[in-house]
């Protein structure tokens, strides 16, 4: 079988592939048209971040069985297009964890002690001790936003430095936080109480611009902000204004909204330490991910074993056709529920009703957990590690079966609990390829869980639907579908609108302010 390595990886990884008897071509720097013209002859594609495995390239890949990413991020791979073609997408979660955590700590030291600025001054032949007065990290409060693999390693190192660590993570239980010696808080509390704020979340609709002028106003005067996660989590204009006013004493940025940044006033700012996305750039990390992805590709192509797949669980080949529709349904239910639930999850109860209860439910449960965790943790979650991540975060997973599915042949019901509240989302299959969400708490609905959606709680009053439609129409946003459910006439209701284009933050605020709208969330599946 033929393997194309289209980005630079360690030669040791290439050697592993060739020793396994695979025919390997290393062709880096290919333009999209060049890649499209030759991808049809390959069975595997290995990329890092430079190659863009877009839908049209995947469509041209007639023989492709697997795409492997030497690293964790998968922004450059169209996972939906690959899944439709039955192409397994793998990454190497954890390969960059330590190196990114170390880089975060290094950036924190650098911005606190003004090391790059002092070095530049010395290079100019200057000796300006008073100008570069810094602060200690000892006894300061570090606020960690996102306590996944990287955030957890940063927290450990910060505690070793004598820092008080507080954290926000919607999937972290109180019990797990206590075990780690970390005080769990809501994100507003973390932002309000931290001397240093470090960000370790993926870029999603929920995390985009979470550091903005409004959140900065609530921070301590003289706070420091570190972002080694994703560009776009921090609103760069608002950060610049806060640096200029002195509200923010300094920032350390390894990532930017546009990379490489062009004419960005933060780069070169006297209060900013900036690096060109170096979080994963160590010799050890690059070798680790190259070896890992090479071994995973060999396992799949030579031995038929799937490891660290983000779009496919490990199930026997003869059960794929039967289980795949339910796996898709469960993942959709989990992803939907995660994006409308607020609070730290302590328990997930999955009930299988009707025909599905007689199947092998283990991979379906894993799919539900993966769907639940993915909106917050993104590329670090796959079908292999989802159960372990849930356990690490103190989330108890329960399964029950019932032969009675009511009006349906099969139903999967997912109940999420925190200490204060719970949410039920249930779904079924209208056909093998048509998953639907049919119940949210006590609201009967019929939702197609795909693409971008507006999810709203509203009062069941005349004019609600018309107001939403008019506002979206004025902003040139086409409505694909609309779904509604209500408890009683005139009471509380649910409205879900499938839309064809993104909603801006400004428009989202306008929708929230419409009469009888109680709450609005953007959901992406």
Domains and CATH numbers, the chain: 1-92+282-312 (3.40.50.720), 97-274 (3.40.50.720), 313-441 (3.30.1330.90), 451-525 (3.30.70.260)
Residue pair 3/17 in contact by the 8 Å Cβ criterion: yes
Residue 417 known to be catalytic: no
Question: Which pLDDT tens digit goes with each residue over 366-383?
Answer: 999 999 998 877 656 777
191 within 8 A of 218, measured Cβ to Cβ: yes
- Given CA atoms 468, 473, 477, 483 in this order, what sign does their dihedral have? positive
Low pLDDT (below 70) residues in the chain: 314, 316-318, 378-380
CB atoms within 10 A of CB 504: 11
67 strand-pairing partners: 45, 89
Query: 128 is written with which tokens?
Result: 């300006």
Of residues 43, 103, 200, 230, which has the active-site annotation?
230
Would you state the pLDDT for residue 379?
Answer: 58
- pLDDT for 377 equals 75
Q: What is the pLDDT of residue 318?
A: 67
pLDDT at residue 256, as a whole number:
96
User: CA-based angle 517:518:522, to the nearest 5?
Assistant: 85
**Residues whose CB falls within 8 Å of the CB of residue 412, separated by 6 or more in sequence, listed in order:** 326, 329, 330, 333, 350, 351, 352, 353, 356, 364, 368, 426, 427, 428
Q: What is the pLDDT of residue 271?
A: 97
What the block records as the tokens of 234 is: 């921090």
> What pLDDT sits at residue 345?
87
| Residue 257 annotated in active site | no
Q: pLDDT digits over 154-182, tens only? A: 999 999 999 999 999 988 878 888 889 99
Catalytic residue among 277, 307, 481, 483: 277
Element housing 479 (H / E): strand 479-486
Q: Is 230 a catalytic residue?
A: yes
pLDDT score for 204: 80
- In 3D space, the residue among 265, 131, 247, 130 whose CA is nearest the CA of residue 197 turns out to be 247
Q: Which residue out of 128, 259, 396, 509 is catalytically annotated? A: 259
* pTM (predicted TM-score): 0.70
């Amino acid at each position: 079988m033929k393997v194309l390595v289209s980005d630079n990886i360690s030669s040791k990884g290439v050697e592993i592939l060739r020793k396994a008897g695979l025919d390997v071509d290393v062709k880096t720097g290919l333009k999209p048209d060049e890649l499209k013209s030759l991808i049809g002859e390959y069975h595997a594609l290995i990329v890092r971040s430079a190659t863009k495995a877009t839908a049209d390239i995947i469509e041209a890949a007639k023989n492709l069985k697997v795409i492997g990413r030497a690293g964790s991020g998968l922004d450059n791979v169209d996972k939906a297009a690959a899944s439709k073609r039955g192409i397994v997408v793998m990454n190497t979660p954890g390969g960059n964890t330590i190196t990114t955590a170390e880089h975060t700590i290094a950036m924190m030291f650098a911005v606190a002690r003004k090391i790059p600025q002092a070095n530049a001054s010395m290079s100019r032949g200057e000796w300006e001790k008073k100008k570069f007065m810094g602060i200690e990290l000892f006894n300061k409060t570090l606020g960690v936003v996102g306590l996944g693999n990287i955030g957890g390693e940063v927290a450990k190192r910060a505690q070793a430095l004598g820092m008080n660590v507080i954290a926000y993570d919607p999937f972290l239980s109180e019990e797990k936080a206590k075990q780690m010696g970390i005080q769990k808080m809501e994100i507003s509390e973390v932002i309000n109480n931290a001397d240093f704020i470090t960000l370790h979340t993926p870029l999603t609709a929920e995390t985009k611009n979470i550091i903005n002028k409004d959140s900065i106003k609530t921070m301590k005067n003289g706070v420091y902000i570190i972002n080694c996660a994703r560009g776009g989590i921090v609103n760069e204009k608002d950060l610049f204004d806060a640096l200029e006013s002195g509200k923010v004493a300094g920032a350390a940025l390894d990532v930017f909204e546009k990379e490489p940044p062009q004419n960005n006033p933060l780069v070169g700012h006297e209060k900013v330490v900036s690096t060109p996305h170096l979080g994963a750039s160590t010799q050890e990390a690059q070798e680790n991910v190259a070896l890992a992805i090479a071994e995973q590709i060999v396992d799949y192509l030579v031995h038929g074993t799937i490891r660290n797949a983000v779009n496919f669980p490990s199930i026997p080949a003869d059960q794929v056709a039967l289980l795949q529709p339910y796996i898709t349904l469960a993942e959709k239910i989990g992803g939907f529920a995660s994006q409308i639930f607020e609070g730290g999850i302590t328990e997930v109860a999955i009930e299988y009703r009707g025909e599905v209860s007689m199947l092998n439910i283990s991979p379906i449960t894993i799919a539900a957990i993966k769907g639940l965790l993915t909106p917050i943790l993104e590329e670090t979650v796959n079908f292999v590690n989802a159960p372990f991540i849930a356990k690490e975060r103190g989330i108890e997973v329960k399964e029950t079966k019932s032969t009675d599915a009511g009006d349906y042949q099969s139903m999967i019901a997912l109940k999420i609990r925190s200490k204060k509240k719970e949410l039920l989302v249930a779904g079924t299959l209208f056909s093998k390829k048509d998953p639907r969400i049919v119940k949210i708490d006590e609201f009967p609905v019929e939702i197609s869980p795909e693409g971008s959606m507006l999810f709203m709680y509203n009062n069941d009053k005349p004019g609600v639907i018309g107001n939403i439609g008019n506002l979206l129409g004025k902003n040139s946003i086409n409505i694909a579908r609309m779904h509604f459910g209500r408890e009683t006439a005139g009471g509380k209701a649910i409205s879900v609108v499938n839309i064809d284009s993104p909603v801006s933050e400004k428009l989202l605020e306008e929708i929230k302010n419409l009469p009888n709208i109680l709450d609005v969330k953007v959901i992406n599946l």
